[in-house]
Amino acid sequence: MNFLRRISSSFRRRGGNENEKPAVLAAAHAKHVLDFSEGRYKLREENKQLVVEKEDGSTVNIPFAEIALILLSNANVSVTQAVMQSVAEFGGMLVICDYRHRPVSMMLPMEAYSVPVQRLKLQIEASQPILKNAWQQVVKAKIRAQARCLADEIMHCSFSDAEGLMKMAENVKSGDTDNIEAQAAKRYWRALFPEIEFHRDHDKGDPLNNRLNYGYTIVRAMTARAVCATGFHPALGIHHCNQRDAFCLADDLMEPFRPLVDWTVRIQFNISKKLETRKLTRELTPQVKQELIYPLTKHFKVNGEKRKLFDIISLLAQSLVKFYSKETTELYLPRIERVDNE
């Protein structure tokens, strides 16, 4: 709750009290992630600011320039066309989720598409060797990130499994023809939650899978925004190919960042084992959502520098453009370390 109060202190309010605000869950680049999953709200635009009106008439004003993402998973929220237009104009995203907090629609700004023909042609003409090489690098980075997640002392996981995953990453071939990704995932999930028989299933609806779904939704939205900022079409993936998925490329590029969410969910699991009052439930309360998103908005250490996650994902998306155009042979997939003093 301290974090929510710190963020809300920058808002101009008219009426109401501290607790009468939407779930302002995080800020990256001084930009907010707003989640509307409970209560009744009316969202309108006024003087380049989002005005959030509650059922009791109290309001919160937030400059559109400070909004990175709006999540809507609540049928009791009304949004004007002016709000949608302003969110896009200021480079934000509007994501609509179902009752399980899975995205069913994303609205992304089109400003990046100033060079659509050139970038689209680059994607369409990407050869199979290029695509397979890119996927090999992504899978290696993902498995290494999974290994580092297990190796973190706070996770209380088996270090031997972390070492095993590192070795598996070295065996990933072009295009991952041996499906090392799936083999690693089986070992990873068993090692991450050894106390229970856990199976990763986004449709299952259990407490752990619900938390993973929600965290992945945030990372997916960040990745989709980064992809569109390059002018690439998000539907043309490296590996994922689904006619019903408009964000295959985002699904590909987000893979190495999934363990950042897994780490937080495992921490919640550890706490639930120690505290009777923190037992995991299917419901994603505002506090649970805050705990899932906040770690994703902190600085990470990359090559001796501090960077936000969206910066890292953006650099990866930009490196893919250079990779397709043969300006580089390596995607930007650095080792990401947490900054403990934040």
Do 78 and 127 fall into the same domain? no
Q: What is the biggest distance separating any 2 CA atoms in the chain, rounded to whole angstroms? A: 60
Is the pTM higher than 0.85? The answer reads no
Do 100 and 128 fall into the same domain? no
**For the chain, what's the residue count?**
342
Amino acid identity at 276: E
Do 138 and 27 fall into the same domain? no
DSSP of 209-274? HHHHHHHHHHHHHHHHHHHHHTT--TTS-SS---TT-TTHHHHHHTGGGHHHHHHHHHHHHHHHHH
Q: Rounded to an integer, what distance in angstroms lies between the CA atom of residue 8 and that of residue 217?
A: 23
Q: How many domains does the chain have?
A: 2
Final residue belonging to a domain, choices 90, 107, 124: 107
Do 88 and 135 fall into the same domain? no
At residue 189, the pLDDT reads 95
Do 188 and 258 fall into the same domain? yes
CATH of the domain at 224: 1.20.120.920
- Residue showing tokens 């008439």: 57
Non-local CB neighbours of 47 within 8 Å, separated by 6+ positions: none
Q: Are 318 and 39 in contact (CB under 8 A)?
A: no
At residue 277, the pLDDT reads 63
Q: Which two tokens stand for residue 50?
A: 């989002």
Closest CA to 205 of 150, 303, 281, 256: 281
334 membership: H or E segment, kind and range: none
Do 58 and 124 fall into the same domain? no
Final residue belonging to a domain, choices 67, 86, 107: 107
Q: Are 164 and 187 in contact (CB under 8 A)?
A: yes
Q: Rounded to an integer, what distance in angstroms lies between the CA atom of residue 330 and that of residue 337?
A: 20
At residue 175, the pLDDT reads 96
Closest CA to 116 of 240, 228, 264: 228
Amino acid identity at 132: K
195 membership: H or E segment, kind and range: none
CATH of the domain at 41: 3.100.10.20
At residue 316, the pLDDT reads 98
Final residue belonging to a domain, choices 66, 85, 107: 107
At residue 35, the pLDDT reads 85
Domain containing 194 equals 116-338
Q: In the chain, which stretches have pLDDT less than 70?
A: 1-31, 100-102, 110-116, 243, 276-278, 341-342
Q: Are 61 and 46 in contact (CB under 8 A)?
A: yes
Do 73 and 122 fall into the same domain? no
Do 85 and 57 fall into the same domain? yes
Q: Are 339 and 251 in contact (CB under 8 A)?
A: no
Q: Rounded to an integer, what distance in angstroms lies between the CA atom of residue 333 and that of residue 328?
A: 13
At residue 170, the pLDDT reads 97
Do 139 and 66 fall into the same domain? no
Do 18 and 134 fall into the same domain? no
Do 139 and 81 fall into the same domain? no
At residue 14, the pLDDT reads 34
Name 77's bridge partners. 41
Do 210 and 65 fall into the same domain? no
Q: Which two tokens stand for residue 36?
A: 């509307």
